[in-house]
Amino acid sequence: MPVYRPPLIPSSEITPRSVYLRRREFLGAAAGSALALQASGARAEKLTTVESTYRVDEPTTSREDITSYNNFYEFGLDKSDPARLSGDFKPRPWTVTVDGMVAKPGRFDLDALTKEFPIESRTYRMRCVEAWSMVIPWDGFPLAALLDKVEPLGSAKYVAFETIVRPEEMPGQKGLFQSLEWPYVEGLRLDEARHPLTLLAVGLYGETLPNQNGAPLRLVVPWKYGFKGIKSIVRISLTDTQPKTTWQSANAQEYGFYANVNPEVDHPRWSQASERRIGESGFFGSGRRKTLPFNGYADEVAGLYSGLDLRANY
Ligand SMILES: Nc1nc2c(c(=O)[nH]1)N[C@H]1C(S)=C(S)[C@@H](COP(=O)(O)O)O[C@H]1N2
Ligand SMILES: [Mo]
C-alpha cells in the first residue's frame, strides 16, 4: 500500500541504517545470522500438503522476493521492514475466534484446524494496488471450510477480519510513526468469503508462513488487490452490515470495500492498467505486463458481481 500520509516522525529520529547495521555487528556473527534467519522465516516447519488444481501457468516468484518485499505496516512502512523487524513476533501458539452471526461460535486452536482441514498447495497470481505483482505458492485451506464449521445464520451477509494487536512484538504498532489505526481490519461479502478461491493461508513454498507474510494465518483473495489479504488474523466475525476496512478509514476516496483488481478503474493517483512483475525486470524485458480483469480470475468470480457497477463499487 502506498503511504497515504508521510511519517510524522522526523527522519532524524529514525535509527539510521548505519547504526542499525552496527548494532547487528555488536550482536555477533552467530546471533546476528540467527536473527536474520528467524526474520526471513527459515525456522519455518515443513507442512503436509495436498496438490490443488489451482495453478498458474506463469513462473513462480522466488521465495527470496516473496519474503523480502512486503507490506505489513505493523512492522513498519518500508517494504524491507517486515523481514527485518518481525523476528520477535511469536506466531505460536495461536487461536482464532470465529463469532457473530453463527450457530456455533468458537475459539479455535490453529494447530487443531490444520489437522482438521487438508492443507492444499495452490499457486495464485497476486496483485498489489501499488501496481506490482507476484505469483505465490500458498499453502492453506478454504475459508469456506471454517465458515461451514461455525454454521453462519441466514441473516449473516458479511465477514469481518481482525489482525492481532501486540505492540511489544510489532514495532509499527508502537506509534513511532503515524500510519494506520490498529487493529488492521478487513471485510468480504459472505459469498466472496465462501468462494472456493478464497484461502486462509498457513504456509508458503510448503513451509509455515514467515512472520513478514502474515504468520500464522492470513487471508488470500487472488482477484482483489493485495491489501484485502489481512495478516496474522485473530478474529473472524459474521455480520449483517458491511464492515468498514482499514484502508477505507484511512482514505475512502482511494480505497473502496470491494477492491477488485480492475485495469479499467484507475486509482485516483495512478493507472491500474498494467503492473510490474517482481523479479522479472531483468535483461530480457521490463517485467511490465497488462493487468487482467479480476487479476485473471474473471471466469471464476465475475458472476459474483453481475449487475453491480464496478466503477461505483471500487
Ligand atoms: N495486518 C496487515 N495485513 C496486511 C497489510 C498490513 O499492513 N497489515 N498489508 C496488505 C498489503 S497492502 C499487501 S500488498 C499484502 C502483502 O502480502 P505479502 O507480504 O505476503 O505479499 O498484505 C496485506 N495485508
Ligand atoms: Mo498492497
pLDDT tens-digit series, residues 257-313: 999 999 999 999 999 999 999 998 766 667 799 999 999 999 999 999 999 999 999
Q: What is the pLDDT of residue 20?
A: 37
> Is 76 a pocket residue for ligand 1 (Cβ < 6 Å)?
no
Q: Provide, rounded to the nearest whole percent, the portion of the chain with pLDDT above 70.
A: 85
Q: What is the pLDDT of residue 234?
A: 99
**Ligand 1 atom 20: residue of nearest CA:** 213
Q: Which of 272, 257, 269, 262 is nearest to 293 (CA)?
A: 262
Quickly list H helices, 69-141: 81-85, 110-116
- What's the gap in Å between 26 CA and the centre of ligand 1? 31
In a domain, 171, yes or no: yes
- Hey, how many other C-beta atoms are within 10 angstroms of the C-beta on 8? 10
> Does 311 fall in a domain?
no
Q: Which of 66-80, 104-118, 147-161, 172-186 has the lowest mean pLDDT?
A: 172-186
- Is any atom of ligand 1 closer than 6 Å to the C-beta of 213? yes
- pLDDT value at 256 more than 60: yes
pLDDT of residue 115: 97
Ligand that comes closest to the CA of residue 77: 1
The distance in angstroms from the start CA to the end CA of the chain is 16
Ligand 1: which residue has its CA nearest to atom 14?
226
Q: Residue 4 domain-assigned? A: no
Q: Which amino acid is at 235?
A: R
Q: Are 53 and 61 a contacting pair, CB within 8 Å?
A: no
Helix (H/G/I), strand (E/B), else coil: 88:
coil
Asked if pLDDT for residue 31 goes beyond 60, the answer is no
pLDDT at 282: 64
Evaluate: CB of 163 within 6 angstroms of ligand 1. Answer: yes
Give the Cα separation of 185 and 144 in Å (integer). 19
SS3 assignment, position 124: strand
Rounded-to-integer distance, Cα 160 and Cα 98, Å: 10
Averaged over 209-222, what is the pLDDT? 98
Q: How confident is the model at residue 33 (pLDDT cuts 50, 70, 90)?
A: very low
DSSP-derived 3-state class of residue 69: coil
Cα of 9 to ligand 1 centre, how many Å?
22
Pairing of strands 119-127, 95-100: unpaired
Q: Is the pLDDT of residue 206 over 70?
A: yes
SS3 122: strand
Q: Rounded distance, CA 233 to CA 139, Å?
A: 16
Number of domain units in the chain? 1
Q: Ligand 1 pocket, 81 CB below 6 A?
A: no
Q: Is residue 254, in this structure, part of any structural domain at all? A: yes
286 Cα: distance to centroid of ligand 1 (angstroms)? 25
Measured CA distances, 177 to 19, 215, 252, 260 (Å)? 19, 23, 21, 29
CATH number at residue 132: 3.90.420.10
Cα 286 from Cα 292, distance rounded (Å)? 18
Which pLDDT score is estimated for 283? 62
In the DSSP assignment, the letter for residue 231 is -
Q: What is the pLDDT of residues 84-100, one digit of tens each?
A: 999 999 999 999 999 99
- Asked if residue 310 belongs to a domain, the reply is no
How far apart are the CA of 134 and the centre of ligand 1, in A?
13
- pLDDT for res 15: 43
* pLDDT-derived band at 174, boundaries 50, 70, 90: very high
User: Is 72 touching ligand 1 by the criterion CB < 6 Å?
Assistant: yes
Taking the C-alpha atoms of residue 277 and residue 193, their distance in angstroms, rounded to an integer, is 27
Mean pLDDT, residues 171-178 taken together: 84
* Probe target for ligand 1 pocket from 62, 67, 71, with the most ligand atoms within 8 Å of CB: 71
Q: Separation of 126 CA from ligand 2 center, angstroms?
A: 10
Place of cell 495464485: 124
Q: What is the Å distance from ligand 1's center to 212 Cα?
A: 9
In the chain, which ranges are E strands? 49-51, 95-100, 106-109, 119-127, 132-142, 158-163, 185-189, 199-204, 207-208, 218-220, 233-239, 274-277, 288-290
Write down the pLDDT at residue 69: 98
For the chain, the average pLDDT equals: 89
**Could you tell me if residue 68 is inside a domain?**
yes
Q: Give the CA radius of gyration of the chain.
A: 19
Bond before 216 cis per omega within 30 degrees = yes
Residue 116 has pLDDT above 80, yes or no: yes
Residue 6 lies in a domain: no
The whole domain housing 224 covers: 11-305
> Is 182 within the bounds of a domain?
yes
Q: Tell me: the pLDDT tens digits for 8-28? A: 333 433 444 343 333 334 334
**Residue 195: DSSP 8-state:** S
